[in-house]
Structure 1
């Protein structure tokens, strides 16, 4: 059954013409491209990427840059043009570096948005194609299935009666029914959403049940959703909990920095009678105290981390889930398509006590041909389900006609109370009901006796024990089309069909890796228990405790279910709503649960899980919208790869934040302590700017690209209560920073007491501080056992080389040295500065290596 747009009657646009059934062709590709150019993309106004101007405007609102500009202005006002210009140039370079990094994040986010773009199934040139939803044009024929969002406004012209949730447009939570449009319906009409038994469908609404074909009438801004799309632009993304926590920390530190700024400025002015110097010293301290890198590090890690995950076929829809990945302890996965290859092959037919294995070229007995014909009539005409495709692939080789011309009179989709798909076809003797579904549902339709059912149940169990997916087949006939409910008819049992879907070859190794990482893997499937157990054995899932069925779950109370899920790892004949009960039981047991799903009814379980994982290829739009992650290739190994990358991102982000804390301690201390001790200042605002030029790129780029820890997937998940950046991390950062502060301040005092000129002593301390910060960055980031010159550390070594060139330039170019109030130290003081810097910054790395060498291998694996 198919349609195409006929010639428009007078007064109507050809793209929104009256539609009528005809040959299945749709638009040809050239016409589709012409209409796309004419009407524009099928997209409504939405969030756009930030341009360079927006990024710069946002950066200039940051307190640090306002302080930099204030310091530069102050230098210019007091008449030191060289220092003022240097400060201004430093601020420009700093802003430029931040702009480059944020622009990189925006590019990563834009690439993620492109990956997340929805697709639509269209008929073009007589063939079914999958195209981005933004390329759908008026006149296209779009196929829509259960759980999919409609990409455009149009008319339902073929298929089942649909049930559509239009609450996005009407506010009414009750879904409405849709019937195919009568031949000759005018597609130029502009109906209102809502109302039962109409053929009108609208973009953004959700098809809850049924499947059909839509003739697209309006796209993009012309759709009902598009007309209200402008309001969506004003909706901004909510910051994550981590971002809110970090923002609050920065606000408190900012208030502290400004208070110290005022105290130091007043004290300097009163004690030394130098109010200009006091203002500069206060600004220096405020700049040193403000950890403005925190939000930038978070944003860049989240954006680039999400992009790294997407390159491994895991699309992150909610950035906060990256933090949760490292804590996952329990992984609930579907069987079909996730653990298995989802390439169903019809391998076995059973009828009347006889089993027939389907092999190449074999001729089926006539009775089994009848079973196969009925199974084909009970399958979708344009199959999406792999089992329907497998039935059609075999049935097309039967002699004679294997299906009926046109479309079925009616279809009865799967329902929770009847797990069978039924289609009604015209028949010479009246109408034929063809049913295919779960064996127990088909047995009920056939009203089998207990004895008959016991015999057939044994056959089903035998086939399932071979790992086959088993469906029952049945038929019923009536003398005329009465639209009878299937349950009211007496079906004749036609036999059983068995499908093979092998386990993916990479699954056992991935499950073994998950087990080593302390993650328990459980399989949840709607399949027969024996089939589920056999597939679980092949996949490497623990089957020692047996299988728990949906019927048994229904009979358990909450406490009983909590007890059973502590041991059982295989769950069969599970209804979607029972997945939610399993999730709640696991969470009550203290597990951090990752849950996979693909159907409409999986959305509550995906929302309830700590990490919801939807299938990108076979999942419904509803499941993808409810999920935190989307598997672009539907493979289990991608989940484990996502966990591995998630642990790497979490670990490196924590290291970066510890480092940010550490480096601010010596900068702030060296800006304040010389004033208290009555010594000449070590750091002026331009020195702090130079240090910030080194800190920012090291944090956001070098740490983000650091290789994963060697034993990251051989350790148990971190406790869910353990924060990314808590008291212990802050304490470690202060200890690291205090060591650097003591070493550099000690070097400065030593140099002054030894008679070194003030500018040489300051230069020695400045060199020691820069080198100590770089060595500390390497010590914090690098893991014992990784190569010192690992190729993934190119960014770090590039930053180190750049810092060396920069320091040498400002020391040995007299005009720059004069502006920064430095002079080249002697070789002995330079050697002392480098030695002290390496020791002060590298002690933590040495401690890590000693700990790794002294700790047994097994203990390393279990230590976070």
Structure 2
């Protein structure tokens, strides 16, 4: 590979580069030589994060601590020949794995389908003939042919150009088109100034060219960025960490309970086999078999909801991270704005014209034109239309070219100017392309016996080349600055007439005026930013644009209030990783480079924030990868940006991020709800078995009965809670603290109290059946079993938001819940009255008196729910619970 590696091809003459790569420019490589180089250099492909295969996706479903714990339970149950318990847990594990696998597999394949759209071809010279090959087959030394509209397939040293211009914004962040030449530049020139190189992944917007491939794959500038992204490690999401912590707590709880029970019984001289059975019962009771499957379903449901709302998430656990987001760092162009420039102002010698146009170039007839300005405006727009490389199309989405040039064409169309007709009357004969040094461009047109030189560019550059006295020049510069403070992008327009054979240049032109262009905000953005404000989420604009433009857009969308705080990107590099709290209070970061974006993400994360970051360009990839949630644009985003992101917006709309955050919050609330529900039910089972063992009573619940409760009366209502639409005001409360556990002190107290009420109901029914109705042991166990089963079903209504009414609330409005309750009740009745299942569960059909006891005692937890809610409020208000940002009203009843 070293044989074909050039250190700084941008600084060498084209002939020297061709000589070093051993290629003739008119013939190209031979097919045999290209094949040999491909075997040495490798395919022209980016390094991407390893795609999960079918086996790895499947194995990932068995890696959580909860699943590992259930697997251990299976081994123990089968070792003790408890076949029903073992097989039942295996079924749970399989269902959980299938759901998780199917969801993640579908998401990954959807994202890969988007990436597949990037497969491109390239025109090259091989054996002296032009042929089309896959871009991945390019090798150093290939001669590539370029035309307008092409995406450059590799890093090329240009050897021929004809008015060649490239859009390199995705790589360099520069929003202007770059004129390309064959002239060498300094070896240390920054990327945007390497005009002799055409970079992989950038676009040719005008002209033609020929280049020799000097770098492919990860050796290109684009490839170096993609390699950084691919090498980065993926950390566990907050939810994965919290579920792992909870599962670890449950593992220790299970081991301690089982060991203590078995040890205490053995010390009392009880049957060892009976003690082992009791220990298994406690272990089965303590393990929430439904937790992994319901958590998986909740996240899968969240991914499906987000996909319906144009947000594609690759990993299940990333869904919940959105709900913890505290800061959104968002692009301006195309995310907050429409990315469709419009001409808003034209400042002419006779006065200012305000255009009432939309992004399609039509007017509502309310344009304000000063007296005598009509002819001046017509002349200025004619020059703006002639000095232009964009193309308007009558087909929706068919426009091509720079957004500013398209806006000029639309303004010309509004004035009755058609570029094709103008070019027919004034044929273009040459062009002086825009470049960073001169900051303007010109096109030369034949006009009768003379030539017209149409000029446009940066106001300061155009004004420096026109015929004006110094006071008037300063006055025009002040007008340009005034337009800039209003958030408009400003162009200067000039024109001159040259005789045939004259030296075409920008000098001695006639100044025609200034054009102010605006990229209007999306109409739905202000409401979305308002929703973020209500939700306690900071929205911060991070843009490469000027501060004045950013301030104007911020004012239009309601970002940062009346006086948003603005910081220049250069200030970020002065802190060397230290956190400046005043700096992080800024609402806008302007003129920010890709490196500074990455630093900004790190600074916010170091201050304890959960950061969502939007981006679309190659230069955004490192920051997207660093962010807690990287959000790439699906319509205009580059492959590298989508590769780095955790979420892809299929519509590129900022409100989609807000909707995704809402879904993330709902998912967390639902997971917390069903975790409280499952664990309180499990605690009741543990207490029931444990108290019976300590007091010397016969086991009121057998292991198979506990497993039945965990898989029926626990899982289906918990699943219904996971499917809930969430509280209506979920975006009206501040984000929870990133450090807040899934289950904090208050939630564990709630679990304990709910579990105690469920246990009292069970023992109350047991006592009434045994000592009141004088039922047999099997009948008594049946009453206890059914009481706990129905108590757990009614207990689900305790999970409602306590601020809502007892009748109309987020739980009662959940249709999935009513279906789950009906299904569970039906399964319970069939299991009791079916001889086969009754024999397997060791129960018998209860009589009428027993049903009275069951019905009466099973509603006790529902009555106790409001008391627990009030106690929970008191504990949160006066207790010593660590402070959290989450609203106390968000917890379940």
TM (norm. structure 1) is: 0.70
Matching of residues 708-723 of structure 1 within 5 Å: 708-723=726-741
Tell me whether 281-290 or 451-460 shows the greater mean CA deviation.
451-460
Inter-partner Cα distance in structure 1 for 2:569 and 2:73: 67
Query: Given the alignment of the two structures, is residue 387 of structure 1 paired with residue 407 of structure 2, yes or no?
Result: no
Please give the secondary structure, in 1, of the residue aligned with 2:337: coil
Relative to 1, partners in 2 of residues 1:89 and 1:153: Cα closer, same or farther, differing over 3 Å? farther
CA positional deviation for 1:638: 1.7
The answer to whether structure 1 residue 666 and structure 2 residue 684 are counterparts is yes
1:98 — aligned with what? 96
Say which is worse superposed, 510-519 or 550-559, in terms of deviation.
550-559
Per the TM alignment, residue 762 of structure 1 is displaced from its structure 2 partner at its CA by 1.0
1:681 shift after superposition: 0.9
Pick aligned residue for 1:676 from 694, 697, 722: 694
Q: 2:53 aligns with which of 24, 48, 54?
A: 48
In the alignment, what sits opposite 2:653?
635
Structure 1 residue 804 corresponds to structure 2 residue 825: yes
Instruction: Indicate the residue corresponding to 1:190 in structure 2.
Output: none
In the alignment, the residues of structure 2 paired with residue 789 and residue 730 of structure 1 have an alpha-carbon distance, to the nearest angstrom, of 22
- Map 1:606-645 → 2, pairs under 5 A: 606=624, 611-645=629-663
Q: Where in structure 2 are the equivalents of 1:345-494 lying within 5 Å?
A: 345-352=342-349, 354-355=351-352, 367-369=379-381, 371-373=383-385, 375-376=387-388, 383=400, 385-393=402-410, 397-398=418-419, 399-401=421-423, 412=435, 436-437=457-458, 439=459, 451-452=471-472, 454-463=474-483, 468-472=488-492
Check conservation: 2:750, 2:868, Cα contact below 8 A.
no
Which residue matches 1:769?
788
Distance change in 2, residues 1:251/1:467 (3 Å): closer
In 1, the alpha carbon distance for the partners of 2:28 and 2:257 equals 79
Per-residue deviation, 1:344: 1.9
- Give 1:290's aligned residue: 287
Q: Which moved more, 1:798-807 or 1:500-509?
A: 500-509
Give per-residue Cα distances to partners, 1:168-197, cap 9 Å, x unaligned: xxxxxxxxx99999xxxxxxxxxxxxxx99
Distance 1:254 1:576, change over 3 A: closer
> Distance in 1 between the 2:665 and 2:431 partners?
52
2:743 to 700, 705, 725: 725
Q: 1:352 to 1:525 in 2, by over 3 A?
A: farther
Match of 2:706 among 688, 694, 713: 688
- Matched-pair contact (CA < 8 Å) for 2:466–2:510: yes
1:653 to partner: Cα distance: 1.8
Distance change (3 Å), C-alpha of 1:136 and 1:693: farther
User: Comparing 778-787 with 554-563, which one deviates more in the overlay?
Assistant: 554-563
For 1:714 and 1:673, locate their aligned partners in 2 and report how far apart those are by CA, in whole Å: 44
Identify the residue that residue 277 of structure 2 maps to in structure 1: 280
Please state how far the C-alpha of 1:666 moved relative to its aligned partner.
1.6
| Residues 182-222 of structure 1: CA deviation (Å, up to 9, x unaligned) | xxxxxxxxxxxxxx999999xxx76699999999999xxx9
Q: Distance in 2 between matches of 1:463 and 1:653?
A: 52
**CA shift for structure 1 position 737:** 1.9
Aligned partner of 1:310 among 307, 312, 321? 307
8 Å Cα contact 1:422/1:433 also seen in 2: no
- SS of the equivalent of 1:721 reads coil
Question: Is 2:767 the counterpart of 1:745?
Answer: no
Shift of 1:706: 0.9
Judging changes above 3 Å, is the alpha-carbon distance between structure 1 residues 49 and 214 closer, same or farther for their aligned structure 2 residues?
farther
Instruction: Give the C-alpha shift of residue 425 in structure 1.
Output: 7.1
In structure 2, the partner of 1:113 is: 111
- Separation of aligned partners in 1, 2:337 and 2:219: 41
* Counterpart for residue 823 of structure 1: 844
Q: CA deviation at 1:840?
A: 1.5
Q: Distance in 2 between matches of 1:611 and 1:447?
A: 53
| Whole-angstrom distance in 1 between the partners of 2:327 and 2:455 | 41
Give 1:492 deviation, angstroms. Answer: 8.4
Alpha-carbon RMSD across the aligned residues, in angstroms, is: 6.1
Structure 2 residue aligned with 1:192: none
> Would you say the 8 A contact 1:378–1:422 is kept in 2?
no
Paired residue secondary structure (1:254): helix
The answer on whether the counterparts of 2:692 and 2:700 sit within 8 Å (CA) in structure 1 is yes
Equivalent of 1:257, from 254, 257, 268?
A: 254
Further displaced range: 707-716 or 255-264: 255-264
Give yes or no for contact 1:338–1:635 (8 Å, CA) kept in 2: yes
The yes-or-no answer on 1:338 pairing with 2:324 is no
- Report the 3-state secondary structure (helix = DSSP H, G, I; strand = E; otherwise coil) of the residue aligned with 1:647: helix
Corresponding residue SS for 1:117:
helix
Contact 1:550 1:574 survives alignment (8 Å): yes
Q: Distance in 2 between matches of 1:217 and 1:665?
A: 71
Task: Indicate which of 855, 863, 871 corresponds to 1:834.
Answer: 855
Shift of 1:372: 0.6
1:690 deviates by 0.8
Deviations 1:83-131 (A, max 9, x none): x664465345434543453355345534653575364396999xxxxxx
CA–CA distance in structure 1, aligned partners of residues 739 and 665 of structure 2 = 16
Pairing partner for 2:73 from 67, 70, 85: 67
Quote how far apart the aligned CAs of 1:549 are. 6.3
Task: Specify the SS of the correspondent of 1:641.
Answer: helix
Paired residues for 1:174-323 under 5 Å:
238-251=235-248, 253-258=250-255, 260-265=257-262, 268=265, 271=268, 274-316=271-313, 322-323=319-320
Deviation of residue 791 (structure 1)? Answer: 9.1
Are residue 843 (structure 1) and residue 864 (structure 2) matched? yes
Which residue number in structure 1 is paired with residue 778 of structure 2? 759
Give distance in 2, aligned partners of 1:161 and 1:386.
Answer: 14
**Residues 155/842 of structure 1: CA separation in 2 closer, same or farther (3 Å cut):** farther
The total of aligned residue pairs comes to: 771
**How much does 1:665 deviate?**
1.0
The answer as to 2:687 corresponding to 1:707 is no
The answer to whether the Cα contact below 8 Å between 1:810 and 1:816 also exists between their aligned partners in 2 is yes
> How far did 1:646 drift?
2.0
1:544 alignment partner in structure 2 = 562
Cα pair distance change 1:447/1:729, threshold 3 Å: farther
Structure 1, unaligned runs of 5 or more:
1-7, 17-41, 76-83, 126-134, 167-176, 182-195, 480-485
The answer as to whether partners of 1:647 and 1:712 remain within 8 angstroms in 2 is yes
Going from structure 1 to structure 2, the CA distance change for 1:667 and 1:136 (only over 3 Å counts) comes to farther
Superposition deviation, residue 289 in structure 1: 2.1
Give, in whole Å, the separation in 2 of the partners of 1:57 and 1:843.
38
> Aligned partners of 1:583, 1:9: CA distance in 2, in Å?
45
TM-score, normalised with respect to structure 2: 0.68
User: Structure 1 residues 50 and 749 mapped into 2: Cα distance closer, same or farther (>3 Å)?
Assistant: farther
Q: For residue 656 of structure 1, what is the aligned residue in structure 2?
A: 674
Q: Could you say if the C-alpha distance between residues 734 and 514 of structure 1 is closer, same or farther in structure 2, counting changes exceeding 3 Å?
A: same
Q: Which runs of 5+ in 2 are unaligned?
A: 1-26, 36-46, 124-133, 139-143, 172-177, 183-193, 221-225, 364-373, 393-397, 500-504, 877-884
- 1:173 alignment partner in structure 2: none
Q: In 2, Cα distance between the equivalents of 1:70 and 1:708?
A: 39
Equivalent residue for 1:169?
Answer: none
Compute the displacement of 1:406 (Å).
10
> What is the SS of the residue equivalent to 1:722?
coil
Residues 232-291 of structure 1, C-alpha deviation per residue, up to 9 Å, x if partnerless?
A: 999996543542453354345335534543554455466465333333222222222234
Q: Distance in 1 between matches of 2:678 and 2:432?
A: 68
